[in-house]
Amino acid sequence: LFIDHPLVAGQPVPVDGAQAHYLSGVMRLRQGDAVSVFNGRDGEWQATLLDAGKRGGSLSVVAQTAIQQDPPDLWLIFAPIKKARTDFIVEKAAEMGAARIMPVQTDHTNSDRIRQDRLQAHAIEAAEQCGGTIVPPVADLAPLSRVLDGWDPARRILWADESRAGPAATLAGLPQGPWAILIGPEGGFSATERARLARLPFVTPVSLGPRILRADTAAVAALALWQSALGD
Ligand code: SAM
């Protein structure tokens, strides 16, 4: 269970109404039963249920059961697509250990707003599901041009570029270190965006194979490709 609160042995932590309902109504836990909790910062802890009511409840933190994992130093930049597919991208990126998720507005992005809180909740749920201790922050939607203007060139960008036909890239030989994957919208990047990306020295264009993938598939494929060659 994700608890946005410091976890310290012997200390109580609050749970909100939805979490209290999940613990007592869905999981059928009773006072004193064990619950595994994490906050994305302090590893995983065993806690016990103190009380759970309609408006919330509390747990008592007992002992640490896993230390905090370091996320792979990989960010995901992507152009939001339809709601369910955007949710999918955030969920899969969180499962695969992306350390930061950055939705960007591009020339061909259809949606000019996202529900950041909703996407963050998906990232939390994905981390809960796969037993990770890392919850990647989901940034607010920002224009790609502004993101590139302020980019620290020490973090290289792996640009999934569907115009590079041919087999999927092997990333062996690319430098280790901080990276970000960049995935375009359903309509692809505009000519202006492509020209800018091609000029930037910290951007490496790669193929994900000879077929044009949907953006959500491309995100998962690129994350897996990066993990297999450069991940730790
Ligand atoms: N603009 C393209 C078109 O309409 O022909 C399709 C864009 S594709 C649906 C969405 C994004 O997924 C692309 O911008 C790219 O980042 C990524 N992508 C899809 N297939 C890819 C491939 N084979 N290699 C690299 N990137 C790919």
Q: Is 28 left (phi over 0), alpha (psi -120 to 50) or beta?
A: left
Q: Which domains does the chain have, with CATH numbers?
A: 12-66 (2.40.240.20), 74-230 (3.40.1280.10)
CA of 2 from ligand 1 middle (Å) equals 34
CA–CA separation, 226 and 179 (whole Å) = 9
pLDDT at residue 201 in the model: 96
How many angstroms does the Cα of residue 222 sit away from the middle of ligand 1?
Answer: 11
Q: Would the pLDDT of 232 be above 90?
A: no
CA dihedral 115, 120, 121, 124 (to 10 degrees): 170
- Residue 184 C-alpha to ligand 1 middle, in angstroms? 7
d(CA 127, CA 155): 24
Cα 9 to Cα 189: distance, rounded to the nearest angstrom: 50
Lining residues, ligand 1, CB within 6 Å: 160-162, 183-184, 186-189, 207-209, 211-215, 218
Which of 163, 177, 142, 176 is closest to 205 using CA atoms? Answer: 163
Taking a C-beta distance cutoff of 8 angstroms, is the pair 144, 193 a contact? Answer: yes
Q: Torsion over CA of 44, 231, 96 and 188, rounded to 10 degrees? A: 150
Q: Considering the entire predicted model, what is its pTM?
A: 0.85
pLDDT digit string (tens) for 28-79?
A: 999 999 999 998 888 899 999 999 998 999 999 999 998 887 777 899 999 9
Residue of higher predicted confidence among 15 and 175 = 15
- pLDDT tens digits, one per residue of 95-117: 998 999 999 999 998 777 899 99
Helix (H, G, I), strand (E, B) or coil at 134: coil
* Strand pairing report for 203-206 and 156-160: parallel
- pLDDT single digits (tens) 169-208: 888 888 888 999 999 999 999 999 999 999 999 999 999 9
